[in-house]
Each structure stands twice: as structure tokens, then as C-alpha cells.
Amino acid sequence: MSEVNMEAKPNLDRRDFLTKSSIGLAGLAIAPGMMLFDLAHGRAQNEAASNKVRWGMLIDNNKCETGCNDCVTACNTENGLSGGTKPTDSQWIRKVQLKDTFTGRVSSLPMMCQHCENPPCVDVCPTQASFKRADGIVLVDKHICIGCRYCVMACPYQARSFVHEAITDQKTEVPRGKGTVESCTLCVHRIDKGETTACAAACTKAGHNAILFGDLNDPASEISKRIRAVTSTQIRADLGLNTGVRYEGI
């Protein structure tokens, strides 16, 4: 669609082109590191995801309200999940309650795919169906998933679910089917449109603001500033997976 037809401009030689385009680029950069448009978030629809971006979330345990389930509900609605909690039901995100037995502090946090930099689910997948996209989102290619469930066993966060029964009425943007493994997609279809994840949006809407979504690679993003300023933890950091989802206050 946006192919440049070079033959239509026969007079534009290489030197001329470079000079003109560098003038154009200089105009777009206000100052070093500051551009008129945001490169990371303004990815065109027909452009591939880039490894210059790494999507992640920071979850503030202090702000996450015990008993609130809005993120889970939002995820279920967005992705067309049943919302059931039987062992055979898919759960892409769940609320986990923590109790410090010494102080008696009870808190809760949402648990989902942590979108690891070195994901064990990708390591073990025999068909390469489990993969990490360039921008750090860990996904399952259900076209080639054989449903062996090695990834389910390999995941230290129990983030993956297997679809046991035939599904109807899937969402157009979230294909799901029997015999394949699935997990949180970090709302990849929303991210590709430049939106935030459904859980983060629901948390903000509920007024808790416990989930902060953003680009971990962009030093100017809100999430990067926050993880630079406060102590945040990776769950099972000892495994060296470098998770994309981090927690604050646990």
C-alpha cells in the first residue's frame, strides 16, 4: 500500500535523496532523544513489531484491592473466556491472596503470564508454537500447537491453560480452540492498535491504578521512570527469566 515508486522520480539521485531526507529527519527531532512523534507507540498497522520496544507491566501490590476482581472480569470479557475456575477452565489472569503469617498483612495481586525475556515455555515447545514476539510478548501460535502441554508444565507461574472442549462464539480478535494451549496475550490485539491491556484499563477505571502498562525499553515511559524510582520485584527472580511483569510492594 505504502510502497514508494522510485521510478516515478527519476531525477532523485542517491546523494540528493540522502541530503533531503536528513533535513527532514532533523526537523522531526526537537532535541536529542526527543522526537515530534513517538516511535515506540506509533507503530503503523502494517509494520512489524520491533525489538526496540519491550512491553511490560508494573503491578502495585499496595494499591491492588483485596476482593476486587475487575482485572479478571475485564480479561474474561475482552478475550471471550468463560470465567469458570474449574481445573479445566482457561484462566489467563487470576487474583492471588497473600498473607504474611508474621505481621498478619493480607494483600492480593493479579497473576498472569509474566512475559519473560527467557521464557521456559518457548524453550520446551517441540513445535515452536510457543514463541516470543520481537516486542517481548510471549504467545502461542495455535496453528502449529499440538497440545502436548510441555509449556504448561514448564511455566513456573502456572500461567498457561489447555482448552479441553470445543469452543463457540470466540471473539474475532482472539481465536481460541480445543486442543491448544493458551495464556495471557498481553492483549496483543489492543497493543497493536496502540491501546493498553484490558486489565490495566479496568484497574484504572476502578480507580485503583495498580496496573501500569508500558514500554520497558523507553526510558521516558511512565513504567520505566517508576521502576527506576521504586523497588520492584520479579516473582521467582532466582530463575533469571527477566519477567516483563514486575510487582511493587510484595
Partner 1 sequence: MKMAMRLTAILVSIFIATSVYASDKSPVPHLDIGKGGQCVEEDHALMRKTHMNLLKHQRDETMRKGIRGQKYSLAECVECHASQKTNSVLGSNEAFCQGCHAYAAVKLDCFECHANKRKVTAEVSK
Region binding partner 1 by CB under 8 A among candidate stretches 21-29, 135-143, 206-214, 219-227 = 135-143
Given a contact cutoff of 8 angstroms between Cβ atoms, the answer to whether 138 and 130 are in contact is yes
166 makes contact with partner 1 (CB under 8 A): yes
Shortest Å distance, C-beta 30 to partner 1: 28
Q: Is 147 exposed, middle or buried (0-12, 13-18, 19+ CB in 10 A)?
A: middle
Q: Select 142 or 149, whichever has its Cβ closest to partner 1.
A: 142
Residue 249, phi-psi category: left (phi > 0), alpha (psi -120 to 50), beta (remainder): left
Region binding partner 1 by CB under 8 A among candidate stretches 13-21, 59-67, 109-117, 176-184 = 176-184
d(CA 234, CA 248): 9
Region binding partner 1 by CB under 8 A among candidate stretches 63-71, 103-111, 171-179, 242-250 = 171-179
Grid cell listed for 149: 502441554
Residues 6+ apart with CB under 8 A from 127: 144, 145, 146
180 makes contact with partner 1 (CB under 8 A): yes
Name the residue type at position 200. Answer: A
85 makes contact with partner 1 (CB under 8 A): no
Q: Which residues bind partner 1 (CB under 8 A)?
A: 43, 45-49, 131, 133-135, 139, 141-143, 166-167, 169-173, 175-178, 180, 188, 192
